[in-house]
Structure 1
Amino acid sequence: MLDSTETPGGCWVHFSVIVTPVIRESPGVTLSEHKSLTVGQAVDLEWEAPGQDGFAFMAAEVRP
């Protein structure tokens, strides 16, 4: 869950929407950094409504 003034009550987030830098890319294979967030970390958040799992908002893209 992410907290934001734009998403009162929290925003549901799945790790697949966390954008991380690409480390290496070759035909058919893309290697990127591990997708994770830490408590208190500032992020850029794009969200959509309706949310998921009881949340009014769902993250569409998260950039650490």
Structure 2
Amino acid sequence: MKWTDTLDIAIELYEKFPEVDPRYVRFTDLHRWAAELSSFDDDPEKSNEKILEAIQMAWIDEID
């Protein structure tokens, strides 16, 4: 998975952290959690605020 796979990352985070409300996750934590996913295979330094926001919004959509 790459940073551009925002929906896939969001789904995996939702499955890994079902008790977490993504609306209150700090981007530093979101970045770390995404980079630590077993299927993640991208340079951790290639993310940015726009990508993290897209992951967060997709994660919020998953819980709704």
Q: TM-score, normalised by structure 1?
A: 0.27
Larger Rg: 1
The higher relative CO (CA closer than 8 Å, separation ≥ 6) is in 2
The structure with the greater share of residues assigned to strand is: 1
Q: Which has the higher helix share?
A: 2
